[in-house]
Structure 1
Amino acid sequence: MNQEATDFILASRAAVSQAGALAVHYSFSIIGAIVILIIGWLLAGLLHRWAHRGLRSVHGIDETLAGFFSNLIRYLILILVFITVLGQFGVQTASIIAALGAAGLAIGLALQGTLQNIAAGIMLLVLRPFRVGEYIETSSVSGTVQEIGLFATELRTADGLYRLAPNSTLWNTPVTNYSREKARRHDLSIVLDVKDDLQDAERKLHELARQVPNVEASPAPHTFIADLTDTKVTLTLRYWAGTRHWDETTRAVRRAVKRAFYQQPEDAPARP
């Protein structure tokens, strides 16, 4: 009985000694983990703000893109801090990194379409084939750009409808931007009788082109014969108009041509 009591006492002392050693060891690990977490959290926030300010100061970098990359840097640092904290407690971080890599690969395959839209959104924000407020047209969508996001672009159609286009559909197809250049060309053709005075018609077209506001003086408007038959002559007026006022300018030119060439004189007898 005395031997059993002695063994129990010795085992208890060994357990207490081992527990004390483990407590001392893990207390330092816990303190080190807390310190790493605090420093890592502060460093992640500091680098996030620096990256955001730095990217915003770069010409051509969109606010959305600056926020995306700065947040990406912050989360990468936090992941590294988390792995370092686990290493403080003796966890094999190599297996964790391998598991994270496998999980990232699986998520990438599952979200392949979404990641494709993100990549396209980054390219659109960096290269800027169009900006907010510009009117664009592709083979599948057209409208005025309202917002360019990482996943999709919001547009408003000419008839006032809301349209959401995935970025991959805008990046993988030719885009016509009607608002990017300062001026646009327009051709207006009229059909004359072959016996009509061609020089007089050209003079009238040049005069009315100069009188309509927002018609560009350079390149100067000019006329040319676009088609010719035995009985008809197709005369074309080619001019450039400011992009911001292109619609109203072309309509004004059409009205002026209508009055100059097709308006029935007031004293002419009415047709029966």
Structure 2
Amino acid sequence: MENVDGVLNTLTFYVTTYGLNVIGAIVILLIGLIIAGWVARIVENALARTQRVDETLRGFFSSFAKYFIIVFTVLAVLAQFGVQTASLIAIFGAAGLAIGLALQGTLSNLAAGVMLLLFRPFKTGDFIEAAGLSGTVKSITLFVTELATPDNVQIVVPNGQLWGASIHNYSFHDTRRVDLTLGIGYEANIADAKTAILDEVSKDARAHTEPAPMVAVLGLGDSSVDLVVRIWCKAGDYWALKFDLTEALKNRLDREGISIPYPQRAVHIVGAAGAASIPT
């Protein structure tokens, strides 16, 4: 009987001493979990209404808000039992600093990934050039971006490299300008060459009429008059139009009798009997 009475007295002591604390801790924990889920849904829905925020970022921010509240809930529960949370926060802070220093490069890529997904300098399917690399964007995650080169080679680039470099997005605008340089002989009539070039360009439906195609004298070379041809087209038609027009304009100038000269140099040989000029 004495043992039973001792056990009952011990149980009574703990129930009266810690019972309310346990009930309070359970209530705090339940309320904290409910609030954490509620805040996560609010953040998710709020970001979903913003078209600029990527789906990956929506999940990241909502999860961050949820676990942020859960951490403070756990600290409040520990405080309910008299645990000195200030020392725990200091320990977690020191541990977080050590982990941050150890994962400095990884966290840098994470921060860059957040910025890329938030500001969206490019999106999946765009052809970009950055950090000395170029390719079509296949996927963007919080840590890396996957590119595919024109010959279908996969490139996985850390986001820190992309965010810290100049980014050329060739797919950002709907239209692009094709620039071609053609050289004609000095004996050729420039006006006739311009007319022939513009006529050939007008036959291609991919060339936009507004802004209108333009042909101008770019410069006077060593062996040719250099003409620049500028045509606007859809961004997706850029390379096909460039390749096709380069061939078509060469054939058209041949039919018009307008030569595309190659470099020539005159060598003057001076001897006792006089000078002779030999073209090379």
Q: TM-score, normalised by structure 2?
A: 0.85
Instruction: State how far apart, in whole Å, the 1-side matches of 2:100 and 2:63 are.
Output: 19
**Percent identity (aligned):** 39
Hey, what does 2:117 align to over in structure 1?
A: 125
Query: For the aligned residues, what is the CA RMSD?
Result: 2.2
Deviation digits for residues 7-50 of structure 1, max 9, x if unmatched? xx99x989965652332221222222222222211221121112
Which of 24, 33, 47 is residue 25 of structure 2 equivalent to? 33
Deviation digits for residues 107-138 of structure 1, max 9, x if unmatched? 11111111111111111111111111100012
Which of 56, 62, 68 is residue 70 of structure 1 equivalent to? 62
Q: Is the aligned partner of 1:256 residue 2:243?
A: no
Letter in 2 for 1:122: V
Q: Is the aligned partner of 1:56 residue 2:30?
A: no
Give runs of aligned pairs for residues 173-252 of structure 1, distance below 5 A.
Answer: 173-229=165-221, 231-252=223-244
Letter in 2 for 1:47: V
Instruction: State how far apart, in whole Å, the 2-side matches of 1:132 and 1:70 are.
Output: 23
Hey, what does 2:97 align to over in structure 1?
A: 105
Do the aligned partners of 1:212 and 1:252 also contact (CA within 8 Å) in 2? Answer: no
Q: Is the aligned partner of 1:23 residue 2:33?
A: no
> Counting helix residues as a fraction of each chain, which structure ranks higher?
1
Do the aligned partners of 1:224 and 1:235 also contact (CA within 8 Å) in 2? Answer: yes
State the shift of 1:258 in Å.
2.1
Instruction: State how far apart, in whole Å, the 2-side matches of 1:166 and 1:256 are.
Output: 42
Matched pairs, number: 256
Deviation digits for residues 152-183 of structure 1, max 9, x if unmatched? 11111111111110000000010111100122
Between stretches 31-40 and 222-231, larger displacement belongs to 222-231
Hey, what does 1:43 align to over in structure 2?
A: 35
Q: Is the aligned partner of 1:152 residue 2:144?
A: yes
Instruction: State how far apart, in whole Å, the 2-side matches of 1:262 and 1:169 are.
Output: 48
Aligned-partner SS, 1:145: strand
State the shift of 1:264 in Å.
10
Instruction: State how far apart, in whole Å, the 2-side matches of 1:136 and 1:229 are.
Output: 33
Aligned-partner SS, 1:212: coil
Which of 91, 95, 104 is residue 83 of structure 2 equivalent to? 91
Aligned-partner SS, 1:153: strand
Runs (4+) off by over 3 Å: 12-19, 262-265
Q: Which runs of 5 or more residues in structure 2 are unaligned?
A: 258-280
Aligned-partner SS, 1:55: helix
Instruction: State how far apart, in whole Å, the 2-side matches of 1:60 and 1:229 are.
Output: 49
> Counting strand residues as a fraction of each chain, which structure ranks higher?
2
Letter in 2 for 1:54: A
Q: TM-score, normalised by structure 1?
A: 0.87
Which of 58, 72, 81 is residue 80 of structure 1 equivalent to? 72
Q: Which runs of 5 or more residues in structure 1 are unaligned?
A: 1-8, 266-272
